[in-house]
Homo-oligomer: A and B are copies of this chain.
Amino acid sequence: MPTRPTPPPRTATAPPAASSPRVPRRRSYDQFCAAARALDAVGDRWTLLIVRELLAGPRRYTDLHVDLPGVSTDVLASRLKDMERVGLTVRRRLPAPVSAYVYELTPRGHGLLPVLTALAGWGAPELTDPRPTDAVRAHWLALPLRRSLEREDWRGVVEVRLDEGEFHVRVGADAGEPVYGEGAAPEGTAAARLELDVGTCLEICRGLLSVADAVRDGRVNVKRSTA
Binding site for B on A (CB under 8 A): 1-2, 4, 7-8, 28-39, 41, 43, 45, 48-49, 52, 66, 69-70, 111-112, 114-124, 126-127, 130-138, 140, 143-144, 164-165, 182-183, 205
Contacts and interface: CB of A to CB of B under 8 A. Distances in A.
A122 B114 CA distance: 9
Given A30-B69, A70-B30, A114 B121 contact: yes
A34 B124 contact: yes
A121 B34 contact: yes
Given A8-B132, A32-B135, 4 more contacts: A1-B182, A31-B137, A35-B140, A118-B118
Nearest to A163: B2
A35 B143 contact: yes
Contacts of A2: 136, 138, 164-165
Nearest to A127: B34
Contacts of A165: 1-2
A196 B23 CA distance: 39
Contacts of A38: 119-120, 122-123
User: How many copies make up the complex?
Assistant: 2
20 contacts: A4-B135, A4-B137, A7-B133, A30-B131, A30-B133, A32-B134, A32-B140, A33-B120, A34-B120, A34-B122, A34-B123, A34-B124, A35-B48, A35-B116, A37-B124, A37-B127, A39-B119, A39-B123, A43-B48, A115-B115
Contacts of A32: 127, 130-131, 134-137, 140
Contacts of A112: 122
Residue from A35, A134, A138 with most neighbouring chain B CB atoms (10 Å): A35
Nearest to A37: B123
A124 to B, nearest CB: 4
Contacts of A183: 1
Given A48-B35, A49-B36, A165-B1, A30 B143 contact: no
Contacts of A143: 33-35
